[in-house]
Amino acid sequence: MADRKVAVTGIGIISPLGNDLESTWASALAGRSGVGPITKFDASSLPTRIAAEVRDFEPTKYFSKKYLRQMDPFIQYAVATSYMALEHAGLHEDKPPAERTGVYIGSGLGGITTIENTFEKMKEKGWRRGISPYFVSGLIINLAGGQVSIFHGLKGPSMSHVSACSTGAHSVGEAALAIRYGRADVMIAGGTESTITPLSVGGFCAARALSQRNDDPTKASRPFSASRDGFVMSEGCALLVLEEYEHAKARGANILAMVSGYGATSDAHHVTAPHPEAEGAQACMRLALEDAGLAPEAIGYINAHGTSTMADAVETMAIRGVFGDHAEKLAVSSTKSMHGHMLGAAGSMEGALCCLALERGVLPPTINLDDPDPACDLDYVPHEPRRVQVEHVLSNSFGFGGTNACLVFSRPPG
């Protein structure tokens, strides 16, 4: 059954650019930054006091208040986004058989908000009064997918992939494999994250990974720029509804794109730094192209991992290594310049934007590219979106621990 084709028929997004798909897409095309001062806690003692936060999210639009204390925000984002994704796919009422519909939703850090808040309450009130009976079920990573399965009554495979910044892309790729191998007909897949907390921001500050451009937050995320000084932490959720192609056609679904290729590798090099010669990244892109049955020249656009760190030059090297002379013709952009680094949700967020770029014939830009690094010398679609129709796009996700995931999305047949 491995020859079954996989279509993308729905997308749901909650992000710093907007709390739904259309507002997020409009912000991306407008080159609008979602970065600002941290409001979720007092960050005044930290060297980094900015982040890309989700704003004005109203969870009770999707479920009653009684569920709020049962779910960390990263789970709340996933449940809310799943409703949007299913509605966008036209499956919110006419659902496929529950046993043939699965959920692969991962996260990088999971319920760190719940962990931090509960620890403070326990110190103040003791364990009996300070720890909720929902503490464990409210924070563990698989409960994002678990709650989505419960809310929608979905009985197919439910798993949570955890691979740092590659999580969202691995979740989509593995969900596509589940459909290709006949384990499901429909999958809800992606990543979710809510990590704007004292401990997580402080931890990345200690690792010297974050931008400290506190006085100019909208300019802080600047991939491929010579003056980049670290990534900007972000949060949110992006979920894709994947569907077996014939199944989608039979019900008259609007097919946004096809998941045509998937690659996964490991650098086996360092806990945070990429391989200096980009061996794992190059191998991952080649695997995704091979899986899609495409020559490098078929790719018209790459949504780069592009984190606004020194690793941007390594990714540029990797793209040149895989695409050779064709690299000069590629459009490459990093949407993290606008929505920041959504960690475990980044790969599915960028995959979602790739699908919209294919469907709508517009490539989102890289903003803040005011002073390009000479080592980053590709066409990064600077400042403004580009209206051009491409047939195949590649989305790169590379995470701590050297974990790599690449996805190829293609325009649907016909």
* Rounded Cα distance, 322 and 336, in Å: 22
Dihedral, CA of residue 201, residue 202, residue 206 and residue 207, to nearest 10: -20
The CATH architecture annotation of domain 261-407 reads 3-Layer(aba) Sandwich (3.40)
* Rounded Cα distance, 266 and 403, in Å: 5
Residue 76 has a pLDDT of 98
Pick the catalytic residue: 165, 205, 237, 406?
Answer: 165
Separation of first and last alpha carbons in the chain: 23
* Rounded Cα distance, 319 and 394, in Å: 11
- Give tens-digit pLDDT for 20-71: 999 999 999 999 999 999 999 999 999 999 999 999 999 999 999 989 989 9
Residue 286 has a pLDDT of 98
- Give tens-digit pLDDT for 340-377: 999 999 999 999 999 999 999 999 999 999 999 999 99
Residue 61, classified by CB atoms within 10 Å of its CB into exposed (0-12), middle (13-18) or buried (19+), is exposed
Q: Quick check: 331 and 386 in contact, CB under 8 A?
A: yes
Residue 321 has a pLDDT of 98
Q: Is 354 a catalytic residue?
A: no
* Rounded Cα distance, 147 and 72, in Å: 11
Q: 3-class secondary structure for 78-118?
A: HHHHHHHHHHHCCCCCCCCCHHHEEEEEECCCCCHHHHHHH
Per-domain residue ranges of the chain: 6-250, 261-407
Q: Quick check: 185 and 197 in contact, CB under 8 A?
A: no
Beta strands 50-51 and 36-37, pairing class: antiparallel
Tell how far CA 252 is from the center of its chain. 28
Residue 314 has a pLDDT of 97
Dihedral, CA of residue 141, residue 147, residue 152 and residue 155, to nearest 10: 60
* Rounded Cα distance, 352 and 346, in Å: 10
- Give tens-digit pLDDT for 226-239: 999 999 999 999 99
What CATH number does the domain located at 6-250 have? Answer: 3.40.47.10
- Give tens-digit pLDDT for 71-81: 999 999 999 99
Buried b (16+ CB within 10 A) or exposed e, 98-123: eebbbbbbbbbbbbbbbbebbeebee
Model confidence, pTM? 0.97
Residue 140 has a pLDDT of 97
CA-nearest of 262, 257, 288, 289 to 358 is: 257
Query: How is residue 334 written in tokens?
Result: 């990093």
Residue 2 has a pLDDT of 65
**pLDDT beneath 70, residues of the chain:** 1-2
Angle at the Cα of 329 (from 327 to 334), degrees rounded to 5? 70
* Rounded Cα distance, 2 and 118, in Å: 45
